[in-house]
Structure 1
Amino acid sequence: MSDTSNTPESVDVVVVGAGVTGLYAVHRLRGLGYSVRGFERGDDVGGVWYWNRYPGARCDVESVDYSYSFDESLQQEWDWSEKYATQPEIMRYLRHVADHFDIRRSYTFSTAVTSAELDEETLRWTVRTDGGEVLSARFCVFAVGCLSSTHRPGIPGVDTFAGATYHTGEWPHEGVDFTGLRVGVIGTGSSGIQSIPLIARQAAHLTVFQRSANYSIPAGNKPLDEAARREQKAGYAERRRLARLSGGGSPHMAHPDRTLEVSEEERRAAFEKRWELGGVLYSKTFPDQLTDRAANDAARAFWEEKVRARIDDAAVADLLVPTDHPIGTKRIVTDSDYYETYNRDNVRLVGLRGNAIERIDERGIGLADGEHIGLDAIVFATGFDAMTGAVDRIEVRGRGGRLLKDAWRGGPRTYLGLGVNGFPNFFNLTGPGSPSVLANVVLAGEQHGEWLADCLRHLDEHGYTAIEATEQAVEGWVTECHDRAAATLMMSANSWYLGANIPGKPRVFMPFVGGFGVYGQIIADVADSGYKGFELIPG
């Protein structure tokens, strides 16, 4: 008898990641009869919401929209408690989905995929995990998330600090009690802006170290009562229809006219309405806000008027109002009482421009001007190696043994954000080259999951073994994504959309900026054409 003890397990599909996109991909492909194995490095479902448990973590898409649309009974049975859900409620929702559809049985948790290597003869993928498992898969699907590889800046002396250090993207599950402590928060992006008000309420003293000011808009959060939930559930079909046509995957359309084509009274009324809606969609009040600087200036002026009215100290307000990028070119943060927090006696804001952190020692943080700030705990709210970081930490080898990391050394190169030349039957969902972080990721995950399911079914129905993006199609898509971004104001900000927060990372605008609805039509047209831009490889 032959020894089969080292024979890899053979499956149709390996899915990496158990966030909103991975869960749907597993459910959808399993429903078509494919054998699917999922792997997740965390010990439960949730993806970004599993790891980001910092105080105040909250979604910037309305709860009713940040939810799956594929099952009507799921839409009707789940009750959101408030307008913008917090991390614990989103985790409860995703656990409910996993339980309702028995998705966990297809996953191995607390297990990271370490490598995926193409066998060029069979066009199958050999997938290895840190638990020692080896699988042979026809299709390799990454749903690893754009915001799941944390970034800590290389500040000299950080390892010598005697107190506790935390990163908002790797928050202890048991929580942190800052009562009576001197706390420093480094970073005022989304996680910093959301956590600072709650940390300030606990800490004896909080020092916020701001590298660059960000635009934030109050969530306008409120509890949802039964009447509101009934109305939302009755209107789900129309909400979803509008969301799929929209720029960002939410059912709120921009004003039909350009910013400066309407009267000042009408313009202010439109801005006020979006301000009351809360959150990120302020950047889409008018259709030209991210393409015309004068239009953007009008939106910015309204924002500044609102924010300065919330801050008691004009000098502090000067630090908190961004001057280096147009509003919306970095993701607008959704906050609760952020600006008001700086009116507290126990909170100090330190602007690092012109007075940078020089080093960290055992007692705290030293600034370039010689001041030393004593601290008991430091929170790094310093974000992620976004878009590509989670992919880069896995050794993915395609044709000729080429590493995906090397193929993307000058920036990610995809076709539609779905295919990569030289990597047949490999799909990286809701990542670079797609709307990804510029859209409601739950509907984006469904959009990619549906496209993927239809694609695999097409291959099988027509006797194809594999599908691979052509180099010409990749080159064309990379150019289109660049040209679309260059026609906006988005390129004028040093944002993580461009990888600007990671030293040495190439400056390439990574998401597709043309809008969720436009992108959906593009990928639908490609499928309807018989997958133009892809080579379909016969069995």
Structure 2
Amino acid sequence: MGGVAMTTKTVEALVVGAGIAGLYQLYKLREAGMQVHCVDAGSDIGGTWHWNCYPGARLDSPSYTYQYWFSDELLDQWRWSERFPTQPEIKRYLKFTADKFALHDQIQLNTRIVGADWDDSAGHWVVRSEAGEVWHAQYLVSCVGMLSAPKLPPFPGHEKFKGTIAHTARWPQGGVDLKGKKVGVVGTGATGIQVIQTIAAEVGELNVFQRTAQYAVKMDNYSLEGERGDYWRSQHENLKNNLPNTFGGFEWTLPEMDWARSLSVEERHELLESCWADGSLKMWVGTYPEVLTDAALNQEVSEFAREKIRARINNPALEEKLVPTSYGFGTYRVPLENGYYEVFSRDNVNLVDVAETPIEAFSENGLIVGGKEYELDVLVLATGFDAGTGSLTQMNIRGRDGVSLTELWSKDITSTMGLQVHGFPNLFTIAGPLAPATAFCNMPTCLQQQVDWVSDAIFHLRDNGFKSIEPSQAKQDEWVSHHDEVANMTLLVHTNAWYNGANIEGKPRRLLSYIGGVGTYRDLCAQVAESGYQGFIKAA
């Protein structure tokens, strides 16, 4: 290995990733007396909230739902400052948790996994790091996140560019000096919107390269000091019990299907006004389920959202570019914004439509679009991720008989409940594809449920004398069929979005997230455990 000393360590479980899921998974297995180790490629813990330190990075789930529920003491000791806190506060919360439960000693940072092979005769995984370290682990638990493999733009010539290029998902920890600079932002999804609205007043000139206009909802952020904070703290027990049973893992519930059709247009409009005024993702996953299944009702909601956006712009030329019309509300990820639309009325901001005229290439001084050069000092790439599968496929995981997970998913993206894959014993994929955690869930709600399921499966094996578990091919086929049946009832499968892998050239098309609801998914997972893991192959 080029002079690098090889070291081999043996553990019962290796957890990859020290974000929300990884910290909790480490805690659960350690508390059960297992020998467990956690590795992370970052220089600090936090996962997404370590890497995504770009200007304006902020939570868009209410903080009082975005937390751990396993410790009443932790709930009592931590106080969120606002409804939608910024990245530094979320990272502080995760570090506070790791400190409180003394997790740091079992976490190894700056460690990137580049290979994992299942040794069938030994009944364990052989996992390799970029630095040449090797772990033998009976259980390999991936907690690398569903949005953690950045998508790089397809246009050529980046090596020519003399300025600075920064991807929002790999933002330099020391920041980037933007003051007075000529800045470009490629991408106007949730992340791009946060960056744009934050830096517009600081930079000298801002070119926003937009391919897809967004149905962004006006955020209603507020302080959690005083009575509001006290109220939500009083709701901890209710939230802990109820969040896992809702559709999206938030504090609100959806009515039954067909309910919206029983309302008049005026009554539906009144409901939409209420959800819009909430200033949260309730407008997306808290109105009524038909928004995602009924084309006529979706059109009604889409036009409602368009009118809200038009009222913010008051410029016909900009309105034409910024108001989405090519897809329905909610079939793309719905961002929250705070002053985004007003940014485009600033003299130093220019909107460049790259749907009409795509970006051609980098130049030494910027980007070329339609033969025109846009001069830039800094280019911010908010170009999204290879969602759901990218982080796992980059780890070069090989299961029984050397089968490559990367090659398998390059042909067809399958899993069993997003938690395991046939042919890969004792590999657990928290936030893997075909589970709500891939996109349609308040992340801590789903991640904690998945960690609990994985932990219980491991404890079941240990307590009953089994050494490995994997889904049968029949069980996996059954889950994929159910997943597709539910997905095909919705409008999402008809939209070219990262939800379907459409943002990555050559990626197989399948809705990456299970859309049957967080509560339904939880019940299905519980049924599997209660059946003694029927449909799973357990080896003694």
- TM-score band w.r.t. shorter chain: over 0.9
Alignment partners' CA distance in 2, 1:108 and 1:529: 36
Residue 233 (structure 2) pairs with residue 233 (structure 1): yes
CA offsets per residue over residues 25-44 of structure 1, 9 Å max, x none? 00001110110011000011
1:372 maps onto 2:376 in alignment? no
CA distance in 2, matches of 1:409, 1:360: 29
Residue from 419, 443, 450 that aligns with 2:445: 443
Q: 5+ residue gaps in structure 2?
A: none
What's the offset of the Cα at 1:255? 4.5
Per-residue deviation, residues 309-354 of structure 1 (Å, max 9, x unmatched): 1113121111111122211111101111111111211111111122
1:35 has 2:42 as partner: no
Cα distance in 1 between the residues matched to 2:195 and 2:262: 39
Aligned counterparts of 2:217 and 2:282: Cα–Cα separation in 1 = 10
2-side partners of 1:264 and 1:353: how far apart? 34
Aligned positions of 1:480-519 closer than 5 A: 480-519=482-521
- The AA in structure 1 aligned to 2:392 is V
Give the counterpart of 1:479 among 478, 481, 490. Answer: 481
Q: Deviations 1:72-108 (Å, cap 9, x if unpaired)?
A: 1111211111111111110010010110111111111
Q: What is the correspondence of 1:186-265 to structure 2 with a 5 Å cutoff?
A: 186-255=186-255, 258-265=259-266
Once the two structures are TM-superposed, the CA of residue 533 in structure 1 deviates from its matched residue by: 1.6
Query: Following superposition of structure 1 onto structure 2, how do residues 92-171 of structure 1 map, counting pairs within 5 Å?
Result: 92-171=92-171
Q: Is the 8 A contact 2:6 2:133 kept in 1?
A: no
In the alignment, which residue of structure 1 is the partner of 2:433?
432
2 CA distance for matches of 1:362 and 1:8?
46
* Whole-angstrom CA distance in 2 between matches of 1:467 and 1:87: 37
- 8 Å CA contact 1:216, 1:279 repeated in 2: no
Match for 2:298 among 278, 296, 301?
Answer: 296
Alpha-carbon distance between aligned partners in 1 of 2:538 and 2:111, rounded to the nearest angstrom? 33
The percentage of aligned residue pairs carrying the same residue is: 39
CA distance in 2, matches of 1:232, 1:280: 18
Maintained 8 Å contact 1:280/1:331: no
C-alpha separation in 1, matches of 2:388 and 2:283: 23
* Number of the residue aligned with 1:309: 311
Distance between the aligned counterparts of 1:198 and 1:456, measured in 2? 45
The DSSP-based 3-state class of the residue aligned with 1:178 is coil
Which runs of no fewer than 5 residues in structure 1 stay unpaired? none
Residues 49-79 of structure 1: CA deviation (Å, up to 9, x unaligned) = 1111111111111011011111111112111
Once the two structures are TM-superposed, the CA of residue 226 in structure 1 deviates from its matched residue by: 2.1
CA distance in 2, matches of 1:223, 1:24: 27
**What corresponds to 1:53 in structure 2?**
53
Query: For the Cα contact (< 8 Å) 2:415–2:422, is it kept in 1?
Result: yes
Q: Pairwise CA RMSD of aligned residues? A: 1.4
Deviates more, 1:252-261 or 1:160-169: 252-261
Over residues 480-528 of structure 1, what are the superposed CA-to-partner deviations in whole Å (9 max), with x where a residue is unaligned?
A: 1111111101111111111111111111211111111000000000000
- Equivalent position of 2:180 in the other structure: 180
The amino acid that maps onto 1:312 is N
Whether the 8 Å contact between 1:118 and 1:423 is mirrored in structure 2 is yes
Contact 2:7–2:133 (8 Å) recurs in 1: no
Equivalent in the alignment of 1:537: 539
Structure 1: distance between partners of 2:7 and 2:378: 49
Q: d(CA) in 2 for partners of 1:80 and 1:272?
A: 28
Measure the CA separation in 1 of the matches of 2:6 and 2:276. 60
SS of equivalent residue, structure 1 residue 8: strand
Q: Contact 1:69–1:443 at 8 Å: present in 2 too?
A: no
Separation (CA, whole Å) in 1 of partners of 2:349 and 2:6? 60
* TM-score (normalised: structure 2): 0.96
| 2:345 counterpart of 1:359 | no
Distance 2:368 2:132 in 1: 45
Structure-2 separation of matches of 1:375 and 1:291:
43
SS in 2 for 1:201: coil
Distance across 2 between alignment mates of 1:64 and 1:195: 24
User: Which residue number corresponds to residue 69 of structure 1?
Assistant: 69
Letter in 2 for 1:471: Q
Q: TM-score, normalised by structure 1?
A: 0.96
Amino acid corresponding to residue 363 of structure 1 in structure 2: N
Q: Deviations over 1:175-221 (max 9, x none)?
A: 22212111111111111111101111111111111011122112111
For 2:417 and 2:367, how far apart are their aligned partners in 1? 45
Aligned partners of 2:20 and 2:94 also within 8 Å: yes
Q: Secondary structure at the match of 1:279?
A: coil
CA displacement at 1:7 relative to structure 2: 7.7
Q: Is the 8 A contact 2:187 2:210 kept in 1?
A: yes
| Secondary structure of residue in 2 paired with 1:430 | coil
1:370-409 map, 5 Å: 370-409=371-410
Residue identity opposite 2:169 in structure 1: G
Secondary structure of the residue that 1:248 maps to in structure 2? coil
